[in-house]
Amino acid sequence: MQPINEIKLEFLSKSSNEAFARVVAAAFVSQIDPTLEELADVKTAVSEAVTNAVIHGYENSQGLIRMHCKLFCDAVEIIISDDGVGIEDIELARQPLYTSKPDMDRSGMGFTVMESFMDIVEVTSKPGEGTTVYMFKTFKSLIK
Amino acid sequence: MIAGVVGELDHHSADYIRQKLDAELVKASNKNIIFDLSKMSFMDSSGIGIIMGRYKNIQKLGGKASLVGLSDQSRRIFEMSGLLKIVPAYETIDEALKNM
């Protein structure tokens, strides 16, 4: 399957860039004209992945976050990666309501939201080397 | 107290919203709170933490919390976390007030 368009974006791990990243992803995906609800799904999933990189990956210090998007005629692939502290136990981190930062009003629902709003969510990580979140979504409204 | 969230609720705006809400709750004579989310344009899972955190604080003081004006998107996120079982959602502020 060949993508019809592709972007790569690199930005600082500032919380203000959470909105920037999700708006860029939504603008990019809107080229194939999915429904507003499908666009909101992508925005929310990107927001969760970038927020994880800001809070957990870089623990609010500064580093670079990369977002790589490939657009297909009826789907999108989004890869968000950081060079932060990484995740020791990915299975535990993905569990609903699990959070390593309960004191900060974090709900522990980030990965659950990503899984619910996207079709595929894969996480690879190594402590000390960073985290990569791969997401894929087919837009049902565009399937012919 | 009726708290309206206008705009986007994410990790970036959550700090400001939390401080604002907590400051108002300290001043409020009544410890019940209705979150009016009808003017909220975006929310991710940070919203769960904000609502849950405030709920826990006022619950200790005998207060109740409820939600009004949920979008399909925010409803899905709240449902996933089980939050709507303890903080009920209503269609209108009037309806929420009646059930306080």
pLDDT of A57: 96
List Cβ neighbours of A135 (8 Å cut-off, separation of 6 or more): A45, A49, A77, A78, A79, A80, A114, A118, A120, A121, A122
- Of the candidates A130, A128, A120, the one whose C-alpha atom is nearest the C-alpha of residue A66 is A130
A107 and chain B in contact, CB less than 8 A? yes
For the segment B39-49, the average pLDDT, to the nearest whole number, is 96
Please tell me what DSSP assigns to residue A31: G
Q: Is the pLDDT of residue B2 over 80?
A: yes
pLDDT of A104: 78
What would the two tokens of residue A20 be?
């920037």
- From chain B, the residues in CB contact with A22 under 8 A are 42
Q: Between chains, do A19 and B80 touch, taking CB under 8 Å as contact?
A: no
User: A100 near A14, Cβ under 8 Å?
Assistant: no
The amino acid that residue A52 corresponds to is N
Helices (H), chain A: 16-29, 36-52, 90-94, 110-117
Cα–Cα distance between B18 and B54 in angstroms, integer?
8
CATH for B68 = 3.30.750.24
Q: Between chains, do B80 and A48 touch, taking CB under 8 Å as contact?
A: no
pLDDT of A132: 98
Q: List, in order of start, the domains of chain A with CATH numbers.
A: 5-142 (3.30.565.10)
Domain that holds residue B17: 2-98
pLDDT of A102: 79
- From chain B, the residues in CB contact with A109 under 8 A are 45, 48, 77, 80-81
Q: Which residue has the tokens 């609800």?
A: A37
pLDDT in tens, A23-70: 999 999 999 999 999 999 999 999 999 999 999 999 978 999 999 999
pLDDT in tens, A80-134: 999 999 999 999 999 999 998 877 788 999 999 999 999 999 999 999 999 999 9
As for the ipTM of the complex, it is 0.92
pLDDT of A60: 79
A103 and chain B in contact, CB less than 8 A? no
Q: Between chains, do B11 and A105 touch, taking CB under 8 Å as contact?
A: no
Q: Between chains, do A15 and B11 touch, taking CB under 8 Å as contact?
A: yes
**Tally of structural domains, chain B:** 1
Residue of B14, B44, B53 with shortest CB distance to A48: B44
pLDDT-derived band at B1, boundaries 50, 70, 90:
very high
